[in-house]
Structure 1
Amino acid sequence: MVCNRGGCPGVKGAAGTWHEGGITRLPLPGRISSTKEAVMGFNARSARTVIAVAALVGGLGAMTACGSKPAWKNPGDKSDTPATKEVATTVAAPANGATDVSTATEIGLANAKPGSTVTITDATGATVAGSMRADGQTWVPATQLKYATAYTVTVSGSDDSGKTTFTTMAKPGKTINVSVAMADGKTYGVAMPVVVRFGSDVSKDQRANIEKRLLVTSNPPQLGVWYWFSNNEVHYRPKDYWQSGTTLSVRLATGGLQLTGSAYGAKDVTVNATIGRKLVMETDDASHQMTVAQDGQVIRTIPVSLGKSSTPSSSGAMVVMDKNKSEVFKGDASDPYVETVYYVQRVTIGGQYIHAAPWSVGDQGKRNVSHGCTNVSQDNAIWLYNLTILGDPYTVKGTPRKLAWGDGWTDWDKPWEEYVKGSALPAPVEPAPAASSPAPSASASTN
């Protein structure tokens, strides 16, 4: 009870209690005929009751000021609870103080927040450019890091005062060259795969790590995947033909990347290219005609002669791989010949081409007499040669011979559902279509 020494006389408390002379008194249960009786005329049993109750109330009253009600707090009210401290974004990999780190390393983050940024500097203070992967958890340097160099990593928005440092590996004694079948600044057809070749076989157990470092960016974005044709060649294609006008940025970020147990990628390779108009060539053996369509419109039908019965042409989806104004063709022991052929466009590794064949003009559009190539007239060969670019698709159907998988850029001869199985990584997830929105009103801006 918090009162003056003289008590709190006459102060009425909660639930009918009275404070007199420093004692809290309560109305008695049972026979109470008047205030005087309540104060003075009660018997001993009643007195004992009052004393017990007074002791209880007095204990409660000690927690409050005289005559004031005890403060009540809602159990759900957390206004007095200290705020939970936000977990800082930190560097998860490489570990702080790590040495012998690959120059192809990436910066893994823990507790990454949207908009987190990473800064890497070397011992001279030079900053390394880079960007975050789509997962928001991994930051990729834009160039290969230097060998035997110390780096410091700082993450923005972190309240951790420490910084992560690591040192890269010394230059390895054995390296493997990596190349891509594209030239910087060139334009390619809509079926052009990104063809990556390694100077020697790479380990199968490294395929997944390698794929992660083969970076293809398309604008507009298009879903694509890698397919391993062999231990030294992997291709990338989109789900459907590239959209005309697509820009491609390809970075083979393999410099310093482990490719075998003892060999590493020699350096990074970067190529920027463009996808041109959509040109599609299709030949039907039943009609001996080739249809050439550009951007969905048939622009010419060309009579052809395909491979004769002993050397049939392959049926399947092919791609123009190479072009030359002339090449020397040679037969084998069973059919020896040497012939200079003009306006040639290669579509298989095994030696099938589209080319000018003036000697078979009388057969073109009627019968098959070639060694497996697509024969066309000189005029049509020149016209077609001047029209096509590498990466244009060429499909043949109706012949008795099936195109062998891997005999050229056969990427389009498998459906997407089968092609994705050739990757060492899980199949990519196609983004959900954007939700449709109501049509704008007549007064709304449609810019």
Structure 2
Amino acid sequence: MDKRRRIALLVTTLALTPVAFGGCTERGSRPAGQAAARSAPPTLALTPAAGTRDVPISAEIGTEVKNGRVAEVKVRDDKGRAVDGTMREDGTAWVPAKPLENKRSYRADVTVKNDSGQTATQNTTFTTMAKSDRQTITSTLYFAGNRTYGTAMPVTVAFDPGIPKEARADVQRRLFVKTEPKQPGTWSWLDDGTQAYYRAPDFWRPGSTISVRAALEGLPIGKDRLGDADRTASSRIGNQVSLDIDNATKQMSVFRDGRLVRRIPVSLGKPSTPSSSGKMVIMEKHEFTTFDTRGEPDGGYVVDVEDAQRLTWGGEFIHAAPWSEGDQGNTNVSHGCANVSSVNADWLMGVTQVGDLVTVRGTEVPLTPGNGWTAWNVSWEEFARGSAPPVPANLKPAPTPSAAPSAPAAVAPPTGRTPAPASSGSGG
């Protein structure tokens, strides 16, 4: 081979050899450390630890996995019966579909797998506690099944007595909400721990399905109490409906799917018994009810009312008030309710849903937190601060307007909670 031939071959070889510049690597290559991690066998640690006794019936199978992910969980009781359940979204634990039974042994077999297909299996056995005589904390889930709710419907759980601060994170981890389509949200607590609300940054999308489980039965809460029950419900979100009540004009504007469909004259609370200003949610609807205010500071009357829709625990309703039709649109004469004509009240009953947003503005007093389902009466940032565990920073309202029409900025109300009245309610 002559000299020119050798030079040509050398140039060709150099042209076909990849060259690395700076910190770049050849496409398709894998750092040595990453490759080693992927080929490392998976490992797994489980809780409760093997042989643990007196385990609460709210127990989950904790899974601490390295170099892999959970592929299968099998749990059986001491009679060989399979226990249904699902993994948490973050992969930290397997949650039984219902509370375990008292004073019974369980075995969990968990298999993990890595990206290379390697598997590892661990098992643990444990025994649940005997039925306890400790006091329970009563919980109430204000979200029924097989209903159609408005786009502002918060999932609400009430507690009696309230949950102490140090126990709220554990309780919150047992409050599950799933939405279809997916719309992530968070829980937020009232200061006294008597209520927790769940909502997303924006209003629910019409047609969504929301499934809730308050899995609190047997859950240790604080030093000496247990959760009382395991409750589930699944319901649908209907069309967007919202009401905007302006004290300055004494008018209610009714929006459906973002479009103004009617304006209704109203009479709100007189100066001695003013209506609350803020963002509320319709809580109940009654074709007929009785307001009995005997024993209340500003009450003392009993009156039958038609087409009543509750806004607060303190007894503020939208309802038919034929006795004040001459004042509606002009003068406030009620005991705090929004009075409308019989015709308009009947029409509203056919339009609204429990869970619809009602905004009242321009009255003498702000809405008190917890006086009704007040999850929307604060900004998203303030709402998220009420969560016991931290809320992801990327969970925030969409930059575009949500399904419900925009309303005035949320009122910054004082702290506290108005207790729920008897089911008959007050009003006027």
Q: Distance in 2 between matches of 1:303 and 1:84?
A: 68
Indicate how the Cα distance of structure 1 residues 166 and 330 shifts in structure 2: closer, same or farther if over 3 A, else same.
closer
Q: Distance in 2 between matches of 1:132 and 1:334?
A: 52
1:354 aligns with 2:338: no
> Which residue number in structure 1 is paired with residue 85 of structure 2?
130
1:98 aligns with 2:60: no
Q: What secondary structure, in the 3-state scheme, does the structure 2 residue paired with 1:417 have? A: helix
Aligned match for 1:178, one of 118, 127, 139: 139
Q: Distance in 2 between matches of 1:187 and 1:409?
A: 17
- Specify every segment of 5 or more residues in structure 2 that has no aligned partner in the other structure, as ranges: 1-31, 114-118, 398-428
Q: Are the aligned partners of 1:98 and 1:165 in contact in 2 as well (CA < 8 Å)?
A: yes
> Which residue number in structure 2 is paired with residue 109 of structure 1?
63
Aligned match for 1:406, one of 370, 384, 387: 370
Indicate how the Cα distance of structure 1 residues 85 and 357 shifts in structure 2: closer, same or farther if over 3 A, else same.
closer
Q: Deviations over 1:289-339 (max 9, x none)?
A: 111111111111111111222222211101111222222343756664432
1:295 aligns with 2:257: yes
Aligned match for 1:263, one of 215, 225, 236: 225
Q: What secondary structure, in the 3-state scheme, does the structure 2 residue paired with 1:208 have? A: helix
TM-score by length of 1: 0.74
Q: Distance in 2 between matches of 1:225 and 1:304?
A: 35
Q: Deviations over 1:183-206 (max 9, x none)?
A: 221111111111112343333321
Aligned match for 1:141, one of 80, 83, 96: 96
Q: What secondary structure, in the 3-state scheme, does the structure 2 residue paired with 1:185 have? A: coil
> Which residue number in structure 2 is paired with residue 328 of structure 1?
291
RMSD (CA atoms): 2.5
Indicate how the Cα distance of structure 1 residues 162 and 413 shifts in structure 2: closer, same or farther if over 3 A, else same.
closer
Q: What secondary structure, in the 3-state scheme, does the structure 2 residue paired with 1:116 have? A: strand
Q: Which has the higher contact order (CA 8 A, sep 6+)?
A: 2
Instruction: Give, in angstroms, the shift of residue 368 of structure 1.
Output: 1.8
Number of paired residues? 354
Q: Are the aligned partners of 1:89 and 1:109 in contact in 2 as well (CA < 8 Å)?
A: no
Q: Are the aligned partners of 1:87 and 1:111 in contact in 2 as well (CA < 8 Å)?
A: no
Q: Distance in 1 between matches of 2:391 and 2:227?
A: 25
Instruction: Give, in angstroms, the shift of residue 160 of structure 1.
Output: 5.0
Q: Are the aligned partners of 1:91 and 1:164 in contact in 2 as well (CA < 8 Å)?
A: no
Q: Distance in 2 between matches of 1:329 and 1:361?
A: 22
TM-score by length of 2: 0.77
Q: Distance in 2 between matches of 1:108 and 1:214?
A: 17
Amino acid at match of 1:173: D
Structure 2 matches for 1:49-64, cutoff 5 A?
none
1:389 aligns with 2:353: yes
Aligned match for 1:213, one of 156, 170, 174: 174
1:166 aligns with 2:126: yes
Indicate how the Cα distance of structure 1 residues 160 and 369 shifts in structure 2: closer, same or farther if over 3 A, else same.
closer
Amino acid at match of 1:276: G
Indicate how the Cα distance of structure 1 residues 333 and 243 shifts in structure 2: closer, same or farther if over 3 A, else same.
closer
Q: What secondary structure, in the 3-state scheme, does the structure 2 residue paired with 1:387 have? A: coil
Instruction: Give, in angstroms, the shift of residue 211 of structure 1.
Output: 0.3
Instruction: Give, in angstroms, the shift of residue 87 of structure 1.
Output: 3.3
Point out the structure with max Rg over C-alpha.
1
> Which residue number in structure 1 is paired with residue 244 of structure 2?
282
Q: What secondary structure, in the 3-state scheme, does the structure 1 residue paired with 2:217 have? A: coil
